[in-house]
Amino acid sequence: MSSANSAHSVVEPSLTSKRVAGAIVILYALITLIPLVWIFLTSIKSPPDSISYPPKIVFTPTLEGYCNLLTTRTRQTPEYIASLPAPTGTCDEVTRKRNMVIAGPSNFLPRFVNSLVIAFGSTFLAVLLGTLAAYGFSRFRVPLADDLLFFILSTRMMPPIAVAIPIYLMYRELGLSDTAIGMILLYTAVNVSLAVWLLKGFIDEIPREYEEAAMIDGYTRLQAFRKVVLPQATTGIAATAIFCLIFAWNEYAFAALLTSGEAQTAPPFIPTIIGEGGQDWPAVAAGTTIFLVPILVFTILLRKQLLRGITFGAVRK
């Protein structure tokens, strides 16, 4: 009878407590979302609106920020603009209102593609190497395994930027400066230690009986790894991939130091967007908004695996 009141019993939460919990979650979500909402709102403001004080909550949305982000423009006389044929698109129209014409595409798109290539490339490599290394450490008797694992972890102990100068010199010597390969290698090197440690935990959790069963069922160790271990490690691999991707995607310091042209990624590029008479805030905000999309998509795509990871312990055994 009294068990429902005892401290250790698991009881169905009451409606009130559910509502309170819900309200707290919503409040927290709002607080964390405000900066993101602000960035998005700025991206659809006109340049004067974006710097007006007090800040405007109500304004006429415009795509000017996105146009400025994706194009380069030149100032022309109103007479010249009037002599041009009718504008062909929204951007044309917006630009002409400011007495400018579109001169060509900006560098944003190639920089964004660089970011995609480098971040996904290094994530793929780090997770691939991490999975194999973690499996090795988890299943085989590796000589000095503990020392090696500590060594792998210790590569993360120094702030990465502390080695920036040596890496800059080495990269210049090796011709890796301002190359996508160089950046992929660098981010892989930073991420692989995280990947090994995270994945080792996940793989340790998978009983080795599964592989032994598969090997007895006629498969080689590699086949057993692929058909039995990997499917069960997807959760861990997904979580690790997201961590690696977020790091590689957001990394600024090395990107700013080692890339300037061909291989420049979006983070060092976005702050360099300059409009007439100062920073073009709507364009910067537009770049940031677009920059947020891939991580969002990737996380949403993998959310099933991630959620399963969270509930894994509860379902098993």
Partner 1 sequence: MAEIRIEHLRKQFGSFVAVQDSSFVVHDGEFLALLGPSGCGKTTTLRMIAGLELPSSGKIYLDGEDVTFNRASARDIAFVFQLFALYPHMNVRKNIGFPLLSQGMPKAEIRSRVEETARLLQISHILDRSVSGLAGGDRQRVALGRAIVRRPKCFLMDEPLGTLDAEFREVMVHELRELHNRIHATTVYVTHDQHEAMAMADKIAVMNHGVIEQFGTPQEIYSKPATMYVADFIGSPPMNFMRFTASLQKGARTVCLDGIDVAVPEVRQDMAEGELALGVRPEHIRFSDAALLRGAVYGSEYLGTNQIVAIETRSGLIKARVPANRNFRIGETVGIEFNHTNLALFDCSSGRAVDSTLYSGVRHG
- Kindly list the residues in this chain that would bind partner 1 in the complex (CB under 8 A): 207, 209-210, 212-220, 223, 228, 231-232, 315
In whole angstroms, give the CA distance from residue 242 to residue 40: 23
CB of 317 to partner 1, least distance (A): 8
Q: Is the distance from CB of 95 to CB of 67 less than 8 angstroms? A: yes
CB of 211 to partner 1, least distance (A): 9
CB of 195 to partner 1, least distance (A): 22
* Comparison of 40 and 219: residue with beta carbon closer to partner 1: 219
Which DSSP string do the residues of 239-269 spell out, in sequence order? Answer: HHHHHHHHHHHH--HHHHHH-SSTT--HHHH
Q: Is the distance from CB of 246 to CB of 236 less than 8 angstroms? A: no
| Residues contacting 121, CB < 8 A, separation 6+ | 180, 184
* Comparison of 228 and 302: residue with beta carbon closer to partner 1: 228
Other CB atoms within 10 A of residue 281 CB: 19
CB of 210 to partner 1, least distance (A): 5
* Comparison of 52 and 220: residue with beta carbon closer to partner 1: 220
Is the previous residue joined to 13 through a cis bond, with omega within 30 degrees of 0?
A: no
CB of 316 to partner 1, least distance (A): 8
* Comparison of 217 and 262: residue with beta carbon closer to partner 1: 217
CB of 88 to partner 1, least distance (A): 53
* Comparison of 252 and 312: residue with beta carbon closer to partner 1: 312
* Comparison of 8 and 316: residue with beta carbon closer to partner 1: 316
CB of 218 to partner 1, least distance (A): 4
| Residues contacting 180, CB < 8 A, separation 6+ | 114, 117, 118, 121, 262, 263
Q: Is the distance from CB of 205 to CB of 229 less than 8 angstroms? A: no
CB of 124 to partner 1, least distance (A): 22
* Comparison of 27 and 213: residue with beta carbon closer to partner 1: 213
In whole angstroms, give the CA distance from residue 312 to residue 14: 26
* Comparison of 91 and 214: residue with beta carbon closer to partner 1: 214
Cite the DSSP H helix spans in the chain: 15-43, 47-51, 64-70, 78-83, 90-97, 108-139, 145-154, 164-174, 180-205, 209-216, 221-224, 230-250, 253-258, 266-269, 281-301, 303-315
In whole angstroms, give the CA distance from residue 104 to residue 250: 27
In whole angstroms, give the CA distance from residue 81 to residue 67: 18
